[in-house]
């Protein structure tokens, strides 16, 4: 097989959810947006539903329809973008709960789907989505009378535990919601790890489920195996890849594997990462190109058939650090060219 192989360990995913759930005394939901962070929303959601998850979160209504098919009737499937123009049929037909972000969305929802479940999203300081404090104060009596399924906000700096923004947003969220009977939620993965005062009625981890930081205890969920197309001898002084960016300082054996920035392995990663033959690291050399990566296998002593670039030794966050980005982007950029498999 010439395509790279992406393997998703659903047992590890479930284990990560259980570990995060154990850190709180309240209910734990799950964020499965962006096609389950690139790993397949339907198998991811189905696995988590079997673990007992009853609150799922997606970015847009179309994602919610796929999750509903996976989890069946019963669990809440909430939509961060709220009730957008044209969403009414999807929200109704798949029993989705829009998280309303403005007075306009609130009115649209009540006019189009009176009596249908909804939640409220508040802006506690991130200035991205949600009702501003003044707008919420005006709308709150009307919204509370209709029993929202959840009232929530989102932390901007939860991956930095000592950042003053965390306490600032916590105070703002309390000020906007104290006295409400509706379930409240503020914590995603980072907020879950900040401690009980951030947990409210339920937490909703995302990246930590998939093996990413800031959940350092997470088990790796994804492995990526790259087939070797060719191994060549490179003499001292010869260069490898675009821009002559790597020069051999010894007689070398260079393996070319099938994957590249078209597969989410960003060109910016460059050097500083390895691919593995079993437990033995082999340095990536030269520039990552669209479809190919070159790897120094001189010290292996044999020509491998494949090399693993993502595993328990090298995580999505290691690749992200090398690329100057975050693990979220690495995961969600994994392209459709991978041959995919699931471990259950």
Among 185, 210, 235, the domain boundary falls at 210
Helix H or strand E encompassing 316:
helix 316-323
Is the same domain home to 228 and 174?
A: no
Is the same domain home to 116 and 54?
A: yes
**How many CB atoms sit inside 10 A of residue 144's CB?**
15
- At residue 272, the pLDDT reads 84
Is the same domain home to 233 and 205?
A: no
Position 183 in a domain: yes
271: pLDDT strictly greater than 80: no
Position 20 in a domain: yes
Mean pLDDT of 160-174: 98
Is the same domain home to 29 and 81?
A: yes
Q: Provide the domain count of the chain.
A: 2
336: pLDDT strictly greater than 90: no
Is the same domain home to 293 and 203?
A: no
Of 37, 55, 219, 242, the catalytic one is 242
Is the same domain home to 96 and 242?
A: no
Whether 23 is catalytic is no
Position 97 in a domain: yes
Range of the domain at 314: 222-343
Is the same domain home to 121 and 247?
A: no
pTM: 0.95
Is the same domain home to 200 and 244?
A: no
Position 4 in a domain: no
342: pLDDT strictly greater than 70: yes
CA distance 197 to 186: 10
Among 149, 184, 210, the domain boundary falls at 210
Residue 130, by phi and psi: left (phi above 0), alpha (psi -120 to 50) or beta?
Answer: left
Tens digits of per-residue pLDDT, 72-99?
999 999 999 999 999 999 999 999 999 9
- At residue 1, the pLDDT reads 61
Is the same domain home to 89 and 15?
A: yes
Of 33, 55, 253, 328, the catalytic one is 33
The CATH number of the domain holding residue 104 is 3.20.20.10
Tens digits of per-residue pLDDT, 6-52?
999 999 999 999 999 999 999 999 999 999 999 999 999 999 999 99
Is the same domain home to 205 and 250?
A: no
| Per-chain mean pLDDT for the chain | 96
Whether 210 is catalytic is no
Three-state DSSP at 15 gives: helix
Instruction: Give all strands (DSSP E) within 33-87, no chain letters.
Output: 55-58, 76-79
Among 210, 236, 270, the domain boundary falls at 210
Inter-CA distances, 225 with 1, 8, 329, 338, 339, Å: 11, 12, 19, 9, 10
Nearest to 187 by CA among 308, 4, 29, 62: 29
Mean pLDDT of 210-216: 96
Mean pLDDT of 142-159: 98
Phi and psi angles of residue 243, each rounded to the nearest 5 degrees, phi first: 75, 10
Position 165 in a domain: yes
């Amino acid at each position: 097989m010439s395509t790279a192989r992406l393997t998703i360990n659903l047992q590890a995913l479930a284990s990560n959810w259980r570990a995060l759930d154990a850190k709180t005394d309240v209910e734990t939901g799950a964020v499965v947006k962006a096609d389950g962070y690139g790993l397949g929303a339907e198998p991811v959601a189905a696995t988590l539903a079997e673990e007992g998850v009853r609150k799922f979160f997606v970015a847009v209504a179309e994602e919610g329809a796929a999750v509903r098919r996976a989890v069946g009737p019963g669990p809440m499937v909430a939509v961060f973008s709220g009730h957008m123009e044209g969403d009414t049929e999807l929200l109704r037909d798949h029993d989705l709960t829009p998280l309303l972000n403005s007075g306009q969305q609130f009115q649209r929802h009540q006019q189009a789907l009176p009596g249908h479940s909804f939640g409220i999203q508040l802006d506690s300081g991130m200035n991205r989505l949600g009702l501003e404090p003044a707008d919420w104060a005006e709308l709150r009596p009307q919204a509370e009378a209709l029993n929202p399924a959840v009232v929530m906000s989102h932390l901007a700096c939860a991956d930095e535990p000592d950042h003053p923004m965390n306490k600032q947003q916590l105070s703002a969220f309390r000020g906007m919601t104290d006295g409400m009977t509706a379930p409240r939620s503020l914590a995603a993965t980072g907020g879950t790890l900040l401690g009980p005062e951030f947990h409210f009625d339920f937490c909703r981890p995302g990246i930590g489920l998939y093996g990413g930081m800031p959940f350092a205890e997470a088990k790796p969920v994804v492995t990526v195996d790259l087939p070797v197309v060719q191994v060549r001898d490179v003499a001292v002084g010869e260069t490898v890849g675009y821009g002559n960016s790597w020069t051999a300082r010894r007689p070398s054996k260079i393996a070319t594997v099938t994957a590249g920035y078209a597969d989410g392995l960003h060109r910016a990663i460059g050097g500083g990462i390895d691919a593995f033959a079993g437990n033995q690291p082999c340095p990536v050399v030269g520039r990552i190109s669209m479809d190919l990566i070159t790897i120094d296998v001189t010290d292996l002593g044999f020509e491998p058939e494949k090399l693993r670039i993502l595993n328990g030794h090298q995580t999505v966050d290691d690749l992200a650090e090398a690329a100057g980005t975050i693990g979220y982007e690495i995961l969600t950029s994994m392209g459709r060219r991978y041959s995919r498999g699931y471990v259950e």
